Amino acid sequence: MDPTNKFWWFAGVSIFITLLIFAGIVLFFWQQLLPGQQATLIDIVKNHFIYLFIAAILFMAAIGFGLDAIFHSYILPLNRLPEEIELIHTVNSGHRIKREGSKVVNLVIDAINENADHYQQLENDVTTRVIEAKSDVEKEKNILAVIMSELPEGVLICNRDGHILFFNKQAKRFFTGKNDARLGDSPVPDDPPRAPLPFFGLGRSVFEIIDRHLVSHALDDIIEKLEKTTSGAASYFVTVSQGGRHLRTEMVPVLNHQRLFTGFILIFSDITSQLETDSQANLMLQSLSGGIRTPLAGVRAAVETMMEFPDMTLHDVQEFTRIIYHESLKIGKILGQHTRVPLDRPRSQWPLIETRADTMLEKLTVKAKHLLQLQFIAESYDEDLQLSTDSYSFTLAVLFLLQRLSDETAVRDFMCRVHKTNGLINFDLRWRGTAVRMDKVHAWEEKVLSLPDMGLPFTLGEVIRYHDAELWPYTEASHDWSGLRLILPALPPAGVELTRKPTIIPDSRPEFYDFDLFNQPGQNPSIDNRLLTDLTYTVFDTETTGLDPRGGDEIISIGAVRIVNNHLIADDRFEQLINPRRPLRWESIQIHGIEEEMLRDQPIIATVLPQFHQFAENTILVAHNAAFDMRMLQIKEAETGVRFINPVLDTMLLSSIVHPAQENHNLMTISQRLGINVSGRHTAMGDALATANMFLKLIPLLSKKGIHTLQEARTASEKTYFARLRY
Amino acid sequence: MAVDQSDSASRRRGRILIADHEQGTTIPLTYLMEQSGYDVRTADSGEATLRIVATYKPDLILLEAMISNPDGFEICQTIRDNPDWAAIRILFVSAMTRDMDVAKGLASGADGYITKPFSNSEIMDHVRKLLEIADGSDE
């Protein structure tokens, strides 16, 4: 109960009892008097009523002051003691109880504070010992983390559900184009509005950055390999990040001691520039070879002809001599053009992995049936034949061809033959019906590979080129069968060499990881019974043009951070100014310090809110005085088309559950009470960070009150006094 | 290397189309073929090649795969798709020399594939053989 309410209850009851006793005495006295005495007394009272009245008022006041003094000296300070003592020995051992109330109470408070000094001293000693004990382990962890962060490859570790447990800065750079932003970095005010990039952070799903089908294809591949072999069960593929980087990816499974699959590691190398150089070099090589051969053929044919026909006419001799001269000039010119090109690069960085032809054909049969409803039969193939492919893009390319062929010829049954001849592998798709024209096939080669549910941002031609393959249609001479032949080189794939940088180990921990997340169950709708410490939260704050959402006040800034597995991930942040398309009030500028010109070039709420919605997806929203912020978001539902259906927790309510005796539950007071440093107060990000820290401290205090799960926290919130406040 | 003079003097009948965009190739080849007694035409683009095939009805085409619009492979396929032109022999004489190109050329219906640079005797051997077969099948 609120302390003020308590006081009035106490005062009311005390006065009532006093009046009752007084009235009893008066009644008794009255009955003792003779009738004459009673009349005299009435006269006296009537004539001197004013004195008696003043005396009564003074008496009442004396009682009131007395009660107030007792309440404030004894009851109120003693009432706070249990909460504050709890605060000291749970989250903030530096907290000291303020001296107030009577001498006796102060003596108690002094004793408690003295005790707290001892306790704090002890706690510090223990912490020091723990830190000492941990420092060796920490050192090794740091070395590991630094090595990870300095690798030229991006590294990403996921649990079996695809949630990210670890990443290094290269991985982040590949997928977001940004280097990792340190805590406390101020945003650059004239930063132009960014194109929406995928959110990337601990606890998020890997499917937000890599196509789901690609990941499951690789996982299937790994599981298949694990069943067959004991080592080397990695899968390889190429993915393209939203920023357009081509990433050669190696997926390695993580097994527990019982050899059960518990997660996977993804290792990315950026091959964008190599691919460009390679295809450039390949083109150059081709044009060099092709370019020289033709004039050389001319020279040779001319010379040989002149030797064979010594009696040719003078005119012919001159003609041939001219050809020899011009063709030799051409050769010189071509050589001059190409000597600058580096031709000694590896031919292709595309990770081509050997797969058995029968395995590949089996997969294709299943996928053709499920994805395209087409019959695909492996007609014949060489035993033990290995195909060097990037299995996902190759599968996609064949399925894409089947779909196009089926659309073009209306055929629904296809046969496939795979045979090796003269060091080349003929991969023939055959069907009974008309052939397709070569120009049609050329047109398909320009198309990006996309199928229902599957896709890659490459064209068919690119995939064929990266496989060093050739594709053309043919008609079988003796039958009414037609075909499409894909020729693949039958060589083992080219190896790839990597260069590494020296590693420097700084003192501080450069990256963030939390391997406990391996045991985290996947996010699902039944989160109500999960522990507060196990959930993922988006802690946010908004700054607005004013305090009246219904009266047209607008959001001008959103700041948010994430809490994953009871840790604040300050790096995975959302920070955005918003153009409110209305003038700012002078009073509000005084609070948040955001000027109108800072907002002019910022995106509007309809752009920002969907991004924030995506950032907060599958998490619990936490805010201080959440009712206000949620109202702000809900009012924008119609305009932006996004609905926030996330569960919500309010730190103001949680604080009043934990400390019902405290009168003040504003952000600043709670922060001081819980020993949290607040910087950047009244910026959305500063307040969101303060709220997040506060929330983390409130969780163990709630637990002491028997509130462990989300459901319990919500129920308790509803019951508290502040819940009645409505915006 | 030298071609048998008596053979060239015998003036065998035969029409040859040389399809190549490079004069450096067509001029010596034309001279060589004409001296060997063949009737020769040339084409310097894919389109011209198909036009001349239709009117001139050659017995043999010496085809550069790198000729453009359409390319040599497509020309070869187009000719093979037309039953009226089944007797036409096609010999690629090309600067595209990868195994893949040769396989592609032969798969698209050509009778042979010579890579540049070639020797005169090599090309004459092929031409003679192919035209003998053509004669044989005509009769």
The neighbour count for residue A132, using CB atoms within 10 Å, is: 9
Confidence bin at A184 (pLDDT 50/70/90)? very low
Share of chain A above pLDDT 90, in %: 12
A404 pLDDT band, cuts 50/70/90, is very high
Bond from prior residue into B70 cis (ω within 30 degrees of 0) = yes
Pick the CATH number of A151-178+199-271 from 1.10.150.120, 3.30.450.20, 3.10.20.30, 1.20.1270.360: 3.30.450.20
A566 vs A698: CA distance, rounded Å: 11
pLDDT(A401) > 90: yes
Contact A572, A562 (CB under 8 A): yes
Q: What is the mean pLDDT of residues B13-39?
A: 89
Global ipTM? 0.71
Give mean pLDDT, residues B12-23: 86
pLDDT at A576 over 80: yes
DSSP state of A516: G
A597 pLDDT band, cuts 50/70/90, is confident
Mean pLDDT of A28-35: 88
Q: Chain B contacts of A308, Cβ < 8 Å? A: 2-3, 32, 35, 120
A294, A304, A424 member nearest B25 (Cβ)? A294
**Given this model, what pLDDT does residue A263 score?**
86
pLDDT for B45: 92
User: CA–CA distance from A37 to each of A24, A27, A33, A44, A207 (Å)?
Assistant: 19, 14, 6, 10, 98
CATH of B12-138, one of 3.30.360.10, 3.40.50.2300, 3.30.70.20, 3.40.640.10: 3.40.50.2300
Whether chain B has a CB inside 8 Å of the CB on A476: the answer is no
Residue A1 confidence (pLDDT) = 58
Share of chain A above pLDDT 70, in %: 87
Quote the CA–CA distance of A189 and A100 in Å, as a whole number: 47
Q: Give how far A153 is from chain B: nearest CA, Å.
A: 34
Angle A81-A87-A89 (CA atoms, 0-180°, nearest 5)?
A: 105
Query: What is the overall mean pLDDT for chain B?
Result: 84
Q: Is the pLDDT of residue A305 over 80?
A: yes
What pLDDT, on the 0 to 100 scale, is given for residue A348? 52
Q: Which ranges constitute the DSSP H helices of A580-678?
A: 586-592, 596-599, 605-615, 626-635, 637-640, 651-658, 667-673
**Interface touch B120/A305, C-beta < 8 Å:** yes
- Residues from chain B contacting residue A331 (CB–CB below 8 Å): none
- Mutation site, B7, B8, B22, interface A, largest A CB count within 10 A: B22
pTM of the model: 0.55
Helix axes A76-90, A3-32, angle to 10 degrees: 160
Domain boundaries, chain A: 3-105, 151-178+199-271, 274-338, 355-489, 523-724
Question: Which of A102-111, A176-185, A292-301, A534-543 ranks highest by mean pLDDT?
Answer: A534-543
Which pLDDT value is given to residue B136?
52
Question: Read out DSSP for A289-303?
Answer: HHHHHHHHHHHHHHH
Return the higher-pLDDT residue of B4 and A297. Answer: A297
Between A48 and A495, whose confidence is greater?
A48
Interchain contact, A320 vs B99, CB within 8 Å: no
SS3 A140: helix
What is the nearest CA distance from B16 to chain A, expressed in angstroms?
Answer: 17
Asked if the domains at A151-178+199-271 and A274-338 fall in one CATH topology, the answer is no
Residue A518 pLDDT: 42
Under a CB-based contact definition with an 8 Å cutoff, are residues A623 and A691 in contact? yes
**pLDDT at res. A417:** 92
Residue A395: in which H helix or E strand, if any?
A: helix A391-409
- Where does A355-489 sit in CATH, by number? 3.30.565.10
Residues 6+ apart with CB under 8 A from A350: A238, A248, A271, A275, A390, A466, A467
For the segment A573-585, the average pLDDT, to the nearest whole number, is 86
Q: Does A308 touch chain B (CB under 8 A)?
A: yes
- For A422, the closest chain B residue by CA position comes to B99
Structure-model confidence comparison of residues A192 and A603, the more confident one = A603
CA angle A36, A38, A40 (to 5 degrees): 70
**Least confident among A254-258, A553-557, B32-36:** A254-258
Does residue A176 register a pLDDT over 50?
yes
* pLDDT for the residue numbered A346: 42
pLDDT of residue B6: 42
Cα A277–chain centre separation: 33
A680: its two tokens:
């950047």
pLDDT given for residue B112 in this prediction: 92
Tens of pLDDT, residue by residue over A473-527, are 887 766 688 889 998 887 654 443 333 333 344 443 333 343 333 444 444 557 7
Residues A250/A236, Cβ–Cβ less than 8 Å: yes
How large is the average pLDDT for residues A407-416?
Answer: 91
pLDDT score, position A520: 40
Helix, strand, or coil here: A530?
coil
Backbone angles phi, psi at A711, to 5 degrees: -60, -45
What is the DSSP track for A597-623?
HHHTTSPBHHHHHHHHHHHTTTSEEEE
Residue A552 is predicted with a pLDDT of 78
Query: What pLDDT does residue A503 have?
Result: 35
Tell me which amino acid residue A224 is.
E
Residues from chain B that touch A323, judged by Cβ atoms under 8 A, are 23-24, 27-28
Q: Which of the residue ranges A53-57, A257-261, A464-468, B94-98 would you say has the lowest mean pLDDT?
A: A257-261
Q: pLDDT (tens digit, 9 = 90+) per residue, A326-366?
A: 888 888 787 776 555 444 444 455 777 777 888 889 889 98
Give the mean pLDDT of A174-189: 50
CA end-to-end distance (rounded Å), chain B? 31
Could you tell me the CA-to-CA distances from A293 to A164, B72, B94, B116, B126 in Å, in that order? 54, 17, 8, 5, 19
Pick from A360, A484, A487: nearest CA to A411: A484
What digits encode the pLDDT tens for the residues B74-103? Answer: 899 889 888 888 889 999 999 888 888 888
Q: Chain B contacts of A438, Cβ < 8 Å?
A: 70, 73-74, 77
Strand-pair category, B15-19 with B60-63: parallel
Interval A654-713: pLDDT, tens: 888 888 777 777 888 888 888 887 777 778 888 899 999 999 999 998 988 889 988 888
Optimal mutation site among B1, B7, B25, interface A, most CBs of chain A within 10 A:
B25
Task: Verify whether the Cβ–Cβ distance B32 to A301 is below 8 Å.
Answer: yes
Task: Round the average pLDDT of chain A to a whole number and report it.
Answer: 80
CATH number of A523-724: 3.30.420.10
Domain A274-338 has CATH 1.10.287: yes
Q: Does residue A560 have a pLDDT over 90? A: yes
The predicted-structure confidence for A533-555, as pLDDT tens digits, reads as follows 888 999 999 888 877 777 778 89
Tell me the C-alpha distance between A565 and A320, whole Å. 83
pLDDT surpasses 80 at A273: no
Looking at chain A, which residue has its C-alpha nearest residue B105? Answer: A472
Considering A49-53, A199-203, A543-547, the range whose residues carry the highest mean pLDDT is: A49-53
